[in-house]
Amino acid sequence: MAIATAAEDHRSGQVPDARHELGFTPAVAAFTLAAAVIGFFMDTVDTVVVNVALPAIRVDLGATIVDLQWVVDGYTLMFAALLLSAGALSDRTGARRAFSSGLVVFISASAVCGLAPTVGVLIAARFAQGTAAAVMIPSSMALIGQAYPDPHRRARAVAIWAMGGAVASSAGPIVGGLLTSVSWRLIFAINVPAGFAALWLLRRTERSPRHPVPFDWWGQIAAVAAMGSLTYGAIEAGAAGFSDPVVIASFAVAAASIAAFVLVEGHRPDPMVPLDLFRIRNVSVASAVGFAFVVGFYGLPFVVSLFLQQIGGLSPLATGFAFVPMALVGAALTPFSARLAERFGTRRLVTCGLAVMTVGLLAVAAWAPTVSAAALATLMMLVGLGGPLVIPPMTAALLNSVPDDRAGTASGVFNTSRQVGGALAIAVFGALLAQPAGYIAGLRTSLIIAAAVTAAAILAARTMRTAPLMETSHL
């Protein structure tokens, strides 16, 4: 009760810093932020290095294009499906405990990925990684929200947190290319020392407050059924066609599950996703923007990596180098995202970032098959600019728009929308690559779709509100 009162007093301006009462001294806050950064690094680097290693996995394990889609989407699907409950779990058990549990599972699953004897085992381990990541991301965001109550300091902390992803994106292609040149199995070894470092840092932080939230079993079952059947249908459509009875049935199950999810969440007294949370405009905007951003930002490396190696004949290392400029431009700009948002406004910055991404995706779609790898790498830098211009300011705006006891749930919704975007992008784009028209036609169609989605998100971004906690009374 004292914790809840202190947090509420801080939001109402009655105390200067409620976090002091929770033990979040500057040193503890720094340890907390460092652990969160490492966690985000692990989640991001795992996605990046896998894209570069897909052709090698295909040869070594005899995988099909459908298998490769599941290697990527097995992780993304569980990430997306469980994030909703994971956010509530973070609120209920405490962000620190949830984050540390996720780290342990992620480390273990990474070891299994590296030792996988068959593609089936690898896919199963990727499912386990996605489950752990679903717990880690919302709890890491909640930890930052607890450690940095001041909106401006929180925004800067989020920018530093985003550096974990930016560094992973920068180093991932090269590291993935180098390691894959020896063995693709080594790419999963990166997570083991990084995970233990994060666990060591967490031991030096304080316990997080807990908010009793019952577990929503029916809502979680409906969410898994909806996302799983939708992703399965999209992936299988690439091999069997959209008119296949199994594909049609999968989409029907997805539609029914989505309807059931909305019905369950609307009638439960303690839903894992309170529908009134979407009365906060920035929650709805963040969900739309997060979905669109990942469709382009993660969909592009998937199709371009396969194109460069399967059609262009590049080695894994050369393919990794092609993505470095895209990653470096994002990494270089990320530390300044908070200051840019303060100067130009979050709405303007996010809108600009989405517009630049749209132009970049269209440029790659138009010229990828006809230009050199170096020229293609230059074009992809436009997409890389979207990372620091969109995600850190959008994340800070989201955290500043919800009360502290909903931070885990709100961040779970936000990251779920991102992972759903990634899962569907890989499923749909992989299906397009597998069509008789071939890689080049599939690449162009995929990137045009991604550009259309990011362009549509610009309209949503223009409606966001930037004043903190303007609508929390609706909750």
Taking the alpha carbons of 43, 195, 148, 165 in that order, is the dihedral positive or negative? negative
Q: What is the pLDDT of residue 2?
A: 33
Which of 235 and 247 is assigned the larger pLDDT?
247
Q: What tokens appear for 358 in the block? A: 């749209």
Q: What is the pLDDT of residue 375?
A: 92
CA distance 443 to 363: 12
Where does 23-205+217-474 sit in CATH, by number? 1.20.1250.20
CA distances from 285 to 48, 199, 213, 279, 465 (A): 26, 33, 25, 11, 9
- For residues 336-359, b (16+ Cβ closer than 10 Å) or e, as one string? ebbebbeeeebbbbbbbbbbbbbb
What are the residue ranges spanned by the domains of the chain? 23-205+217-474
Q: What is the pLDDT of residue 448?
A: 95
pLDDT tens digits, 61-80: 988 888 888 898 888 788 77
- Sorted by sequence, the CB contacts under 8 Å of residue 152 that are 6+ apart come out as 338, 342
Q: What is the pLDDT of residue 249?
A: 93
pLDDT tens digits, 156-172: 787 788 777 767 766 77
* Single-letter code of the amino acid located at 349: L
pLDDT tens digits, 187-244: 888 888 888 988 988 877 666 566 666 677 888 889 889 888 888 888 877 667 778 8
pTM of the model: 0.73
Q: Does position 383 have pLDDT exceeding 80, yes or no?
A: yes
Q: What is the pLDDT of residue 24?
A: 60
Task: Place 9 in a pLDDT band, splitting at 50, 70 and 90.
Answer: very low
CA distance 193 to 23: 28
Q: What average pLDDT does range 2-24 have in this prediction?
A: 39
Greatest mean pLDDT range, 164-173, 269-278, 361-370: 361-370
pLDDT tens digits, 80-136: 778 777 766 777 677 788 888 899 999 999 999 999 999 999 999 999 998 998 888
Backbone angles phi, psi at 271, to 5 degrees: -70, 155
